C-alpha cells in the first residue's frame, strides 16, 4: 500500500485542504492516521512550550540523519520504531514549511516523531560550538584574499582553529600553522596544513586574544621545530 507523503500528512495536521483520495486514504489507514495524530499532538506541544517562531526549512542533512537513525534502530528489531520512509519514496520537503518547522522545533524540545528521536539525530552531527573570533587570510606575496580562519569554542570548553584556504603543497617543505602574539615573538605551532579545510585544537593556556595572528609558513624538513621565517599566509583574529 502506498502511504501519503509527509507533505500531505503535515497539511492534514494543520487542517489544510488536501486531495480527496489522500484524505480518504488517511481515514482508512491506521499508519497514516497515527502520524497525523502525532503531528497534531506535536504542534500542540510546541505551542505550549513557546517554541513557535518563523517557519523555516530544516538544516541540510536533517532528514537523512533521522532516516539513518531510524534505519539503525529498525535493524535492531525494535518494534516501537516506525521508519519515516516505510512504504513510501525517500524525499526532502523543501516547499512545506510546516514539515521543516516540525523537525527543527522538535529537535529543540526532544519530541519523538514517527519513532525517530530528532534530538539524537542532530546531536550525532558533532559537538555544539560557539564562534570566538574570525580572521580574513591574505596571501603575503600578492596581498590577495587567501581564505578565512575562525576560532570555535566547543561545549567542553576546548577551542579549535578552523582554516579554509586554497591549499597548494609547498615545493620544498610542509605548510605549518601557527598562532603568534602581536609582537611576533611568542608563537605556538598547531600542526600542518594538508588540505583546503583543516581544524586544529588550540592547546590549553593559549588565549587567542593574546595570540591573534594566524600564520601559515613553509617549513623545511630540517629537524628545526622553530618558525622558518618563510610565512606565505597571514590574518588577524578579531572577536
Residue pLDDT, tens place only, 159-192:
999 999 999 999 889 999 999 999 999 999 999 9
Domains of the chain, earliest start first: 6-123 (no CATH), 129-236 (2.60.40.200)
Residue pLDDT, tens place only, 95-147:
344 445 454 544 444 443 443 333 333 334 455 679 999 999 999 999 999 99
164-203: buried (b, 16+ CB within 10 Å) or exposed (e) per residue? bbeeeebeebebbbbbbeeeeeebebbeebeeeebebebe
Nearest to 84, CA basis, from 51, 47, 117, 44: 117
pLDDT of residue 124: 42
Residue pLDDT, tens place only, 33-83:
888 888 888 766 655 555 445 545 556 566 666 666 656 655 555 544 444
> What is the phi/psi pair of residue 116, to 5°?
-100, 130
Amino acid at each position: 500500500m502506498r502511504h501519503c507523503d509527509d507533505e500531505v500528512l503535515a497539511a492534514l495536521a494543520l487542517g489544510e485542504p488536501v486531495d480527496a483520495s489522500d484524505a480518504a486514504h488517511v481515514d482508512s489507514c491506521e499508519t497514516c492516521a497515527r502520524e497525523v495524530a502525532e503531528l497534531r499532538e506535536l504542534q500542540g506541544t510546541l505551542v505550549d512550550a513557546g517554541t513557535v517562531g518563523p517557519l523555516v526549512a530544516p538544516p541540510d542533512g536533517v532528514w537523512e540523519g533521522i532516516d539513518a537513525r531510524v534505519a539503525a534502530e529498525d535493524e535492531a528489531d525494535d518494534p516501537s520504531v516506525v521508519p519515516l520512509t516505510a512504504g513510501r519514496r525517500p524525499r526532502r520537503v523543501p516547499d512545506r514549511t510546516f514539515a521543516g518547522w516540525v523537525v527543527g522545533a522538535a529537535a529543540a524540545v526532544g519530541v519523538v516523531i514517527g519513532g525517530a528521536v530528532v534530538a539524537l539525530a542532530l546531536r550525532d552531527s558533532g559537538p555544539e560550538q560557539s564562534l570566538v573570533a574570525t580572521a580574513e587570510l591574505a596571501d603575503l606575496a600578492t596581498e590577495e584574499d587567501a581564505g578565512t580562519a575562525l576560532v570555535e569554542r566547543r561545549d567542553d570548553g576546548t577551542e579549535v582553529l578552523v582554516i579554509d584556504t586554497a591549499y597548494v603543497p609547498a615545493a620544498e617543505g610542509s605548510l605549518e600553522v601557527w598562532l603568534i602574539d602581536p609582537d611576533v615573538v611568542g608563537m605556538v605551532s598547531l600542526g600542518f596544513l594538508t588540505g583546503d579545510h583543516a581544524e586544529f585544537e588550540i592547546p590549553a593556556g593559549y588565549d587567542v586574544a593574546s595570540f591573534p595572528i594566524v600564520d601559515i609558513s613553509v617549513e623545511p624538513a630540517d629537524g628545526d621545530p622553530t618558525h622558518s621565517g618563510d610565512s606565505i599566509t597571514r590574518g588577524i583574529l578579531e572577536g
